[in-house]
């Protein structure tokens, strides 16, 4: 089994309108704006104080094996999803985190489809 290193991931394409592309520094303004949204803060935790803090949090090398993506829905960036799991020699917990940052993309099944796509990827690919 070949492990994909964090920060070195291909895009993930779902069968419908949802796909993921790895986050990049150019995504920081959208991520920062989304993380300020009260609905995201309600579930995601404390909003970062600045774009620099967010960039450090999301794009700096991490000791946890973690792969972070922008959710693309119908060709538009609308949210964030990440997965993380243990390397064979480590005992960390596996998981998925997600939020839909664009308010007009909520309540359209984007999050549900994104989780389906991610689960299919992590269990089959």
pLDDT of residue 124: 82
Report, as an integer, the average pLDDT of 30-56.
92
pLDDT tens digits along 1-24: 344 444 567 888 888 899 999 999
> Which pLDDT band, with edges at 50, 70 and 90, does 57 fall under?
confident
Q: How far apart are CA 123 and CA 52, in angstroms?
A: 34
| Residue of 59 and 29 predicted with greater confidence | 29
Residues 11/109, Cβ–Cβ less than 8 Å: no
Q: How far apart are CA 64 and CA 55, in angstroms?
A: 16
Task: Outline where DSSP puts E strands in the chain.
Answer: 12-13, 18-22, 66-73, 76-84, 95-100
pLDDT tens digits along 83-102: 887 666 666 667 899 999 99
Q: What is the mean pLDDT of the chain?
A: 85
| Residue of 90 and 51 predicted with greater confidence | 51
Residue 49 tokens, joined: 């104080």
């Amino acid at each position: 089994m070949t492990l994909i290193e964090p920060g070195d991931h291909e895009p993930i394409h779902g069968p419908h309108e949802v796909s993921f592309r790895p986050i990049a520094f150019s995504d920081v303004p959208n991520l920062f704006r989304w993380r300020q949204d009260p609905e995201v803060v309600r579930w995601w935790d404390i909003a970062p104080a600045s774009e620099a803090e967010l960039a450090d949090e999301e794009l700096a090398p991490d000791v946890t094996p973690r792969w972070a993506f922008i959710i693309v829905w119908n060709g538009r960036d609308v949210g964030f999803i990440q997965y993380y799991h243990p390397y064979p020699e480590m005992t960390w917990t596996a998981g998925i985190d997600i939020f839909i940052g664009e308010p007009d993309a909520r309540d359209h099944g984007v999050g549900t489809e994104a989780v389906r796509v991610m689960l299919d990827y992590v269990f089959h690919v």
